[in-house]
Amino acid sequence: MNAVMFDDEILTGGSLLELIRALKENGANEIYAGITHGILSENAVQRIADSELNELVITNTVPLPPEKRNDKITVLSVAELFAEAIKRIHQGESLSDIFNLKKDIKVEKF
């Protein structure tokens, strides 16, 4: 059994690490987390690196300096999505079309 979890932000990683421990104790093999805002303060990056989390995917809504990056953290850019939203608002177009999964908006991995 694998686990995928989502949350809006991660600050110190304490809650995430507790959840990882609980999932492992209950039989999870691989654990992945998707977080919108990766603040990653204090020693969160090291705690994640030392944890049994397979991958943490965050967006670049909060800049993550190079020294805080490791093999378990993937940063995705929201630049093109935000640019498309701003353009649509400016031109009076629908924003809901952005969320159509068939829409070809690129997601960049840093």
Please provide residue 31's backbone torsions phi and psi, each rounded to the nearest 5 degrees. Answer: -130, 130
On the question of pLDDT at 53 being above 90, the answer is yes
Whole-number pLDDT of residue 100? 76
Token reading at 84? 């498309």
Give the pTM: 0.84
Q: Please write the tens of the pLDDT for every residue from 35-44.
A: 999 999 989 9
Same domain, 17 and 69: yes
Say how many domains are in the chain.
Answer: 2
Report yes or no: 69 and 84 within 8 Å, Cβ to Cβ. no
Query: Do 109 and 82 share a structural domain?
Result: yes
Task: Give residue 109's pLDDT.
Answer: 62
CB 68 within 8 A of CB 42: no
- For residues 52 and 63, membership in a common domain is answered with yes
- Provide the residue range defining the domain that includes 40: 3-76
Q: For the chain, give the number of residues.
A: 110
Contact 101, 76 (CB under 8 A): no
pLDDT, position 97: 85
Is 48 buried (19+), middle (13-18) or exposed (0-12) by CB count in 10 A?
Answer: buried
